[in-house]
């Protein structure tokens, strides 16, 4: 059942025969299991159109986009966002609200999120599997505590607890690092669909990474894996917000780009857009700044290619937006610094889901409970029983 549900969630509507092929289940098993899902209102089945050829066409199985649903939330550096995603991957509703950058209190943030969630009227708690939250910070996997979110000035923050109070919900709340969740979303719905060894690199002020190894997220012993922005790469480099020196993000993060282009640090998305604009108009300082980021990006990626041997590198956030300007430089650095055998096998592509990748990944994170154990949804739930007896 789990395999069927996973296929339907990943691919959307599929014919019974296709489901059989993808899961290796027999025709009669597929029919029986789909019957159970249909009874629980999790899928609908459509009579096939006659083919006009011999052989019976196969029923089309369509996941019910309203059951279950999940709520994805994101706490980014300069915005918060929410999305309601249905079984099968439809984004039913989504909303993003800009916020000023800088240190923001936990209370303020969860209140803002509750206000935003209240506006997502397609979210129905009775049909919901859970809530996922993406945050630009280091998240301890065991208890969802935000160990460190330098952009927000947070350290050891019990986010899920505060969010539960603020949202007034009993649903499970899962917290994840934005780059890890961006990787999950790109792997399931974006540029890395079908790939199993993926490195997702997302840059803004900070640089984060999400690594997928053999189809599974690389978490490390406590969920701190993928903090690639803090690989020390330049012994002669500058101080990093993390307390170290010469971290990768001090060379490729947004502030490095802006400072080299003669802009003020902290200028955000608009300032980056203006660097891109000036570079295309021939401004040499802006061009040199992009070249610098491209060179150091490729340099760091080369090391990760040697360590991880991925098939695909997906560039998100800032790197996705400047991808066209830096792609050639990045490829040349990979040629120079990565081992030939691993280098030959890796492709570099921009993210397909844009800035919403972490948000959609948060919604996918909440779906994992359902995909891992869909049988729980075959039993009548209290809310439905109430409805039925009303």
Residues near its own copies, by CB under 8 A: 138, 140, 147-148, 196-197, 209, 211, 213-214, 216, 218-228, 230-236, 242-245, 299, 302-304, 306-311, 336-342, 345
CA distance 374 to 376: 5
- Residue 168 or 235: which CB sits closer to its own copies? 235
* Minimum CB distance to its own copies, residue 368 (Å): 16
Nearest to 319 by CA among 263, 253, 268: 253
* Minimum CB distance to its own copies, residue 182 (Å): 16
- Residue 147 or 259: which CB sits closer to its own copies? 147
* Minimum CB distance to its own copies, residue 164 (Å): 23
- Residue 41 or 239: which CB sits closer to its own copies? 239
* Minimum CB distance to its own copies, residue 207 (Å): 11
Strands 91-98 and 138-139: unpaired
- Residue 272 or 302: which CB sits closer to its own copies? 302
- Residue 275 or 301: which CB sits closer to its own copies? 301
CA distance 354 to 105: 27
Q: Look up tokens 């923001």; give the residue.
A: 104
- Residue 122 or 197: which CB sits closer to its own copies? 197
CA distance 281 to 168: 51
* Minimum CB distance to its own copies, residue 228 (Å): 5
Instruction: Copy the structure tokens of residue 340.
Output: 């030939």
* Minimum CB distance to its own copies, residue 104 (Å): 21
């Amino acid at each position: 059942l789990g395999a069927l549900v996973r296929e339907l969630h990943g691919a959307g509507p599929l014919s019974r025969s296709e489901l059989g092929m993808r899961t290796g289940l027999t025709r009669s098993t597929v029919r029986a299991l789909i019957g159970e899902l249909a009874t629980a209102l999790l899928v609908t089945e459509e009579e096939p159109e006659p083919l006009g050829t011999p052989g019976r066409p196969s029923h089309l199985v369509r996941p019910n986009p309203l059951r279950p649903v999940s709520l994805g939330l994101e706490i980014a550096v300069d915005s918060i966002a929410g999305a309601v995603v249905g079984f099968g991957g439809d984004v039913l509703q989504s909303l993003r609200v800009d916020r000023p950058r800088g240190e923001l209190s936990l209370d303020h943030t969860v209140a803002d999120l509750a206000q935003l969630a209240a506006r997502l009227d397609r979210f129905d708690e009775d049909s919901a599997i859970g809530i996922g939250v993406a945050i630009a910070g280091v998240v301890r996997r065991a208890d969802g505590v935000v160990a460190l979110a330098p952009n927000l000035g947070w350290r050891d923050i019990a986010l899920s607890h505060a969010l539960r109070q603020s949202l007034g919900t009993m649903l499970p709340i899962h917290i994840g690092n934005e780059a890890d969740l961006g990787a999950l979303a790109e792997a399931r719905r974006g540029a890395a669909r079908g790939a199993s060894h993926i490195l997702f690199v997302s840059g803004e002020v900070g640089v984060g990474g999400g690594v997928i190894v053999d189809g599974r997220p690389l978490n490390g012993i406590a969920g701190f894996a993928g903090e690639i922005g803090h690989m020390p790469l330049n012994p002669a480099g500058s101080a990093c917000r993390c307390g170290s020196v010469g971290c990768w993000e001090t060379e490729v993060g947004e502030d490095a780009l802006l400072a080299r282009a003669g802009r003020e640090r902290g200028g955000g998305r608009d300032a980056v857009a203006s660097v891109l604009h000036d570079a295309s108009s021939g401004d040499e300082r802006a061009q040199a700044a992009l070249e610098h980021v491209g060179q150091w990006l490729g340099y760091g990626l080369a090391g990760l290619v040697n360590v991880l041997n991925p098939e695909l590198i997906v560039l998100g956030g800032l790197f996705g937006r400047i991808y066209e300007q830096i792609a050639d430089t990045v490829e040349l650095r990979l040629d120079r610094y990565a081992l030939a055998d691993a280098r030959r096998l890796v492709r570099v592509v921009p993210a397909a889901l844009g800035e919403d990748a972490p948000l959609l990944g948060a919604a996918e994170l909440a779906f994992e409970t359902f995909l891992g154990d869909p049988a729980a949804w075959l039993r009548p739930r209290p809310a439905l029983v109430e409805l039925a007896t009303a």
